[in-house]
Structure 1
């Protein structure tokens, strides 16, 4: 099967928005599976290999740093082979990395496996978001939320698989092998579907330079994305460890906070596109910021693991809408060079992951996990300040109602 050159629809194959959307949805789900597989197995891998808390923190930070590098490798791959081929290659690399994490005989092999996973997930991230931006342009309405809904469903499934494997007393390699198998099936099923030519990015040689001013226009979305991933990494990377160490949960129960967090994002993302069309992106962002702040405070104060699990679900409900709205809004700044814009925006993503993962891990290693969840609540102020920049373009925006409670039809 040939892959279309970047920015060029395949010849001889009819455009299929629905087919492209199905493939992108599957890949988003696979990405959610892979990330959840790594985060929810941290306690088991740590105990199996006897990793010190500081080394575990270093590994999680390393994954984020390598993902940042992988993002730019993915950008280069997109320009050579296209977004679809980049997604497939990144998925296959993640399969290898997950398998290695599970069977690593010692710490050095585990470190190499986590590094490889970070590179793979960074390349996959820029590839799939570039493809999603093109698909949204083809539809002419907000569809990014549906992709991240699939991501969250994948995360829930993966977290429950980790919990089930622990319940059945499988070795960590067994659970990771099942999750790697899911990624392999998705990689095999990936197909290329041409999109209408107007929605594709032009070839790299035809793209005008992005310019320094783009960084200024990206800053509001970057700040929100940074906050989102500070919160996400704090909950995703360390919630299982928090339940295990601070709230005395078993290995079977420890992944449930991650599962609840992702379940919350499923609910939030299922409604994201409708909420944006009904109330506008700015109002949705402001409401989400306040919910995240309150839920993080509740998670920090949880007296036992059931309360922490419920609070994690509420965090996911609020945080779920922010990342897709950031990415969709940023991609619209330069539709002719969305892959380059998203690669730049991903720097904020991984800066947030590094910051959240490192600070939470360091606080946790000193027994202060509660503070690690309370501190990010204050960052909601940054999200509230940036919310006004989330304006929809005219053909996708919600217009001001003529009377209270009435929404004008789209132009």
Structure 2
């Protein structure tokens, strides 16, 4: 089947860029809610089941490892059923995993529940980013930041719900069930819309051209940036609640607020990302963000009390918010015809970063050295300055044909 066939006939669904964008936005929001629900309830689940600190660290690392495998399961699902069906299935699975984590009566059950969540969030990762890349191509301008804004808004809502549930002394199962209900509601509200045939990406088809060695060389800078970004993200997301609880003596009600502040910072940053890129360029935005992240992480490491740590976490979110969406958007433009394959492989750096940050932070935290974990992450953030020059931004629609590299032009041809 040719990509030049009318989109409505090909997909059997309404053609709407805005509708497709709304559906992807809801999927990003669902992912943000589910990830925040898991991370912010780690202290409560640990205390409820009396898990050893080393097992808690191992579980967080295992989630990242399994998510890496889930990313490739998501790639296979996209090629078979498309990104929208993959997103919806992964969101429903994530909601089920949240309920299972809350209801788990023992260690074995909670381990299985966390593994299921890792598979779901890995598949969802590649699904939402593939869909976002295709929609951005359809718009012909930078819009990736708006999707990650929805992710962050979902994270803020889930973190505040966790804090509220602790304040009301709800059982952890009740709080996670409420958050799972929000994820389910977002899944129900997702609608399927095809993209116009003139801008629909070849990612809508299961047949994909092979990726050459030259592409992998060009992916390295983005992979390294993504690795560092997710070292930082996992250090703040997975362990900020535990840091406030154990090191800064915060209550269970206060402990989730660092995560909420971090995600609130990302909401502000990501809401402004696309506008800043269009005005100042991606390179300048990335360099400024890297410096802000490094300074804010140093502030978290030196925090004398939990209010200072919460403010510093918000600043980390403000700076780090732009890095992942710009990285993924720039990498997807290296080979638009196979964006889901590019992003699935780029996601490996994501999970290596999550594993590294989560494991190192957890191990340091189990020995009372969370401050050192944040200081080390600050040093890594400075390294992002060297990779900033590789970032690009979405070219105008009229100029895209002239700016596609010769080795990519063959991929933009219709496939039968």
Residue in 1 that maps onto 2:89: 89
CA spacing shift, 1:325–1:251, aligned 2, 3 Å: same
What is aligned with 2:181?
181
Structure 2, unaligned runs of 5 or more: 399-416
TM-score by length of 1: 0.93
How far residue 123 of structure 1 moved from its aligned partner, in angstroms, is 0.3
Q: Does 1:36 align with 2:54?
A: no
Sort the Cα spacing of 1:395 and 1:111 in 2 relative to 1 into closer, same or farther, 3 A: same
Aligned to 1:127: 127
Displacement, 1:192? 1.0
Distance in structure 1 (CA, Å) of the matches to 2:293 and 2:397: 26
Q: Per-residue displacement from partner, 1:242-292 (whole Å, max 9, x unpaired)?
A: 000000000000000000000000110010000000000000000000000
Measure, in 2, the Cα distance between the counterparts of 1:43 and 1:140.
Answer: 44
Which residue in 2 is equivalent to 1:275?
276
Aligned partner of 1:255 in structure 2 is 256
CA distance in 2, matches of 1:205, 1:153: 32
* 1:382 pairs with 2:380: no
Aligned residues: 393
- Alpha-carbon deviation of 1:380? 2.2
2:204 and 2:236 map into 1 onto residues whose CA distance is 39
Q: 1:201 to 1:109 in 2, by over 3 A?
A: same
Q: Name the counterpart of 2:59.
A: 59
Instruction: Give me the whole-angstrom Cα distance separating, in 1, the residues matched to 2:303 and 2:204.
Output: 52
Does residue 329 of structure 1 match 2:330? yes
User: Matched residues in 2 for 1:64 and 1:290: separation?
Assistant: 27
Deviations 1:159-215 (A, max 9, x none): 000000000000000000000001111112222101022322156564221122221
Partner SS for 2:239? helix
Aligned to 1:307: 308
Give structure 1 stretches of 5+ with no counterpart: 398-411
1:65-214 to 2 correspondence within 5 Å?
65-197=65-197, 198-201=199-202, 206-214=207-215
Superposed structure 1 runs of 4+ greater than 6 Å apart: none
Maintained 8 Å contact 1:93/1:120? yes
Q: In 2, are the aligned partners of 1:8 and 1:201 still within 8 Å (CA)?
A: no
Secondary structure in 1 matching 2:238: helix
- Provide the residue aligned with 1:339 in structure 2: 340
1:287 aligns with 2:288: yes
Alignment of 1:236-251 (within 5 A): 236-251=237-252
CA distance in structure 1 between the partners assigned to 2:314 and 2:267 by the alignment: 10
CA distance in 2, matches of 1:13, 1:175: 37
The answer as to whether partners of 1:23 and 1:191 remain within 8 angstroms in 2 is yes
Compared CA separation, residues 33 and 135, structure 1 to 2 (3 A): same
Helix, strand or coil at the partner of 1:199: coil
Question: Partners in 1 of 2:381 and 2:173 — Cα distance?
Answer: 38
8 Å contact from structure 1 (residues 9, 200) kept in 2: no
TM-score of the two chains, using structure 2 as the length reference? 0.92
Distance 1:205 1:396, change over 3 A: closer
- The 3-state SS of whatever aligns with 2:170 is coil
